[in-house]
Chain A
Amino acid sequence: MHSFKLLLKVLARRKFFTLVNLFGISFTLMVLLVGTTLFENFLFPRGPEKRSDLMLVAQRLEMTNDDNTTTWTSDAGYYFLDRFVRPMKTPHKFAIMGNATTVMNYQSGAKVELAMRPADGNIWDILDYQFLAGGPFSEAQNQAAAQVAIVSRGTAETVFGTDQVLGKSLEINGLVYEVIGVVQNVSRLESRAYGEVWVPINSLKDQSFKDKIVDDFLGFFLAEKASDLPLIKDEYDEVIKNVVFPDPSFTVLRGGADNKIEMMARSVFGGYEKETQAGQLLGVILGLVLLFMTLPAINLMNLNTSRIMERSSEIGVRKAFGATTWDLMKQLLRENLLLTTLGGLVGLLLAVLVLSLIASSQIFPYFEWHLNFRVFLAGFFLVCVFGLYSGLYPAFNMSRLEVVSSLKRRAL
């Protein structure tokens, strides 16, 4: 408490410096907190992708011939997933869902663009869509090509102007679907589950996708327990190596089943091997964060160092009365940490503001952000790293001052 009061005194004495410091710290931490929150919401989703830690997705594939002269890279095809991947033994559950395609609807009088996802009846066992009304379609309904659709709440409101839409008809691409379920909106950040309308794969007008190895589909695996995940990857690798191509001009297929961070690594570094460069991706992100913190840290360091002289008499007196270098370093570091904590609090407020702006700007449709314990922990960690990072050198410098010379110098 005493050192806290002392700090406030020190801060209040030089308002300009305090403000500049606080501005730098809070702005830096705000940017980092916004980044952390987005990353956290991506990596640990709360929506349908809730069970991401038990989920793997087969998506990117590369198909080539023996001498590598023709390559075709795309997402997985229905034939490959249905014929070769579905019979796999290690996954607890498996489902196929297509990528979102934009479809148009004119029922409300205005044009509404909807992200439609064709899915099989097993997807509801893997992705936890939250049903507000009605229920999912079953695999039997998918097999029977039933013209039924699940819509998100947002879709219900834009197309029909109400969320009481069960049994209503939804017109998509000249087909009429009966709405049998309404789910909570899905955040765009949950890219694997994102959609606005879900229909049975077999109900699509054009069924030509059924003979393709690479196309526009995703295979979702759910493991019973986390220790099964490597087994699924191994078996998937086996499956991929032993695919029989309907089109004999291609002979080699490559790809891997990924969790979310591996998916990100694959999209950044490319590559179609079983293993991804997820470790490298985390290293690069950490490096960039450190680099981003360096400039404000040096700025803070400069300000602190230039204030050594101002506080030299105070330090001289403390030294003359027997304070050790370590005592002084502790005091100065504590001051710096408290200052960064203050800046961190302001940064947190700013981050909340910016996140609400992002949420209301529709950059990521249906994005809802959560500042949870994990983000707080990350924020606290960042504040501490920043405080130590920018405080160590000036503290060391200050504590090294000679007693005699520092007492002689006077501050203005």
Chain B
Amino acid sequence: MIKHYLKLIWNRKRTSKWIVAEFALSFLAVCGAMTAFFHFYQLYQIPLGFEYRDKWQIRFQMPSQGSEAQIKELFRIRDDLEGFGPIQSVSVMQMLPFMNSTWSSTTTYNGKDVNAVHNFMDDKAQAILGIQLLEGRWFGPQDDGSDEYPVVIDSLLKEQLFPDGNALGQLISDPDDSMLKRVVGVMPRFRQHGELAVCRPYVIVRADPNKEAPLPSRNLVLKMDGSQTPEFEATLAKKLEAMAPSWNFNISNWIDQRENHLKPTLIPLYIMGIIISFMLLMVGLGLLGVLWQNVLQRVQEIGLRQAIGASKVDVLKQIAWEMVIKTGLGIAIGMVLALQVPLLAPLPVIRTVWVAAFVGSALVLVLLTLLCSSYPAFLASRIEPALALKDE
């Protein structure tokens, strides 16, 4: 049966080939959009690893190389702010989430190198950020005075550095052995760049006022009790100006930070979605027109088929099948072209996302075809054999 339809399509190859081409192109466009959509959807499903509500941040701009006195000063401000107004507790953090800077460095264990994002946090950060540990413990006073840097690593780094062993208590380092780091805990993924960023291996090093750090911490995270008002910011700014008169600083809350950070990813996605839907609408309407014309041209043929005993369902089936085959051909060509992308360019997209995007866009196109061919097929099935054949 399909062979017969293929023959019919082949006989009309002059018009058919452009419909197939249109489907191949539409497939490419829809598949691209769906890949992006599924990619970000999948990332959005992974927990953030920390709690961002009711958090404020203070970024200090202080003289370039952080001297020891500066770090001590930062810790002093941290302690002084605790309990001020709606502030519940305060913690020191080197790299803030939802910002565009990353500090990454190579981490070595047993000859294996993994590039991991690094951050410095103090002893209170776990409670403030709501980090749930999988194993081990967070930093504490028991880490004082050690030459090593205690670190908490995330499960991704654990999988890559210690595929079959226990991470707790192991010493990890960097290629030139300048910083020896002792793993004291393992946490789930920590997503510094928000829900739409790809997960990267993560290391949190203890921020210690008595110890030198390659990059000094300059930020505070404030956990608020929920009663804070935007006006409190001005009060806080006044207090900070009195506490640290020589530093510039910047206060913002994490809900705004997160929103602003997601925007540059979300806005292009929305625009792409709108453009692709309009394109699909255009393709669908065009298809409807082509099929309509097609039925009008084939009145005699269809009339003849009905005259020799084809039922209305047979006619409907013929129109739908011919269309589905053309769609299938177009999708197949589009798929071959689209497959080149994951094969040739290493995009940070996992395989399930590709498969979902391929299947999803094929489904969308087949549905579109069926929807658009239903009216012309209905027209065709209404053709009266006697009327259609009277001119022959």
A contact set with B: CB distance below 8 Å:
16-17, 20, 23-24, 27, 31, 101-104, 106, 110-111, 173-174, 204-206, 208-209, 211-212, 294-296, 298-303, 305-307, 309-310, 363, 397, 410, 412
Shortest C-beta distance, A268 to chain B (Å), equals 14
Check A27/B63 contact, CB under 8 A, given A106-B234, A173-B249: no
Shortest C-beta distance, B85 to chain A (Å), equals 15
Q: Which of A102, A209, A299, A412 lies in contact with B283, CB distance below 8 A? A: A299
Query: Are B282 and A299 in contact (CB-based, < 8 A)?
Result: yes
Can you list 26 A-B contacts with CB-CB less than 8 angstroms, sorted by A residue number? A17-B289, A20-B285, A20-B289, A24-B286, A27-B282, A103-B250, A104-B233, A104-B237, A106-B233, A106-B234, A110-B230, A173-B248, A173-B249, A208-B64, A209-B64, A294-B25, A295-B26, A295-B29, A302-B18, A302-B22, A302-B290, A305-B15, A309-B293, A310-B296, A310-B297, A397-B14
Interface membership of B310, Cβ < 8 A = no
B contact set with A: CB distance below 8 Å:
14-15, 18-19, 21-22, 25-26, 29, 61-64, 230, 233-234, 237, 241, 245-251, 267, 275, 278-279, 281-283, 285-290, 292-294, 296-297, 299, 391
Chain A CB within 10 Å, residue with most, of B237, B245, B281, B299: B237
Name the A residues within 8 Å of B287 (CB-CB): 302
Name the A residues within 8 Å of B267 (CB-CB): 363
Q: How far is the CA of A363 from the CA of B246 in the complex (A)?
A: 35
Q: Is the interface of B mostly helix, strand, loop or mixed?
A: helix
Query: Are B233 and A111 in contact (CB-based, < 8 A)?
Result: yes
Query: Are B64 and A298 in contact (CB-based, < 8 A)?
Result: no
Query: Are B278 and A27 in contact (CB-based, < 8 A)?
Result: yes
Name the A residues within 8 Å of B288 (CB-CB): 20
Chain A CB within 10 Å, residue with most, of B62, B234, B249, B287: B234
8 closest A-B pairs by beta carbon, nearest first, are: A299-B286, A106-B234, A208-B63, A306-B293, A174-B241, A208-B64, A20-B285, A24-B282
Shortest C-beta distance, B252 to chain A (Å), equals 8
Shortest C-beta distance, A307 to chain B (Å), equals 6
Q: Which of B230, B248, B281 lies in contact with A205, CB distance below 8 A? A: B248
Chain A CB within 10 Å, residue with most, of B18, B230, B241: B18
Check A212/B299 contact, CB under 8 A, given A206-B246, A298-B18: no
Known: A24-B282, A295-B283; 7 extra A-B contacts, CB below 8 A, are A27-B279, A104-B251, A110-B230, A300-B286, A302-B22, A303-B286, A310-B293
Query: Are A303 and B290 in contact (CB-based, < 8 A)?
Result: yes
Shortest C-beta distance, B308 to chain A (Å), equals 21
Q: How far is the CA of A253 from the CA of B380 in the complex (A)?
A: 73
Name the A residues within 8 Å of B285 (CB-CB): 20, 23-24
Name the B residues within 8 Å of A302 (CB-CB): 15, 18-19, 22, 286-287, 290
Query: Are B241 and A206 in contact (CB-based, < 8 A)?
Result: no
Chain B CB within 10 Å, residue with most, of A174, A211, A410: A174
Shortest C-beta distance, B173 to chain A (Å), equals 16
Name the A residues within 8 Å of B64 (CB-CB): 208-209, 211-212
Q: How far is the CA of A206 from the CA of B62 in the complex (A)?
A: 7
Name the A residues within 8 Å of B279 (CB-CB): 27, 295-296
Query: Are B250 and A104 in contact (CB-based, < 8 A)?
Result: yes
Shortest C-beta distance, B257 to chain A (Å), equals 11
Q: How far is the CA of A20 from the CA of B288 in the complex (A)?
A: 10
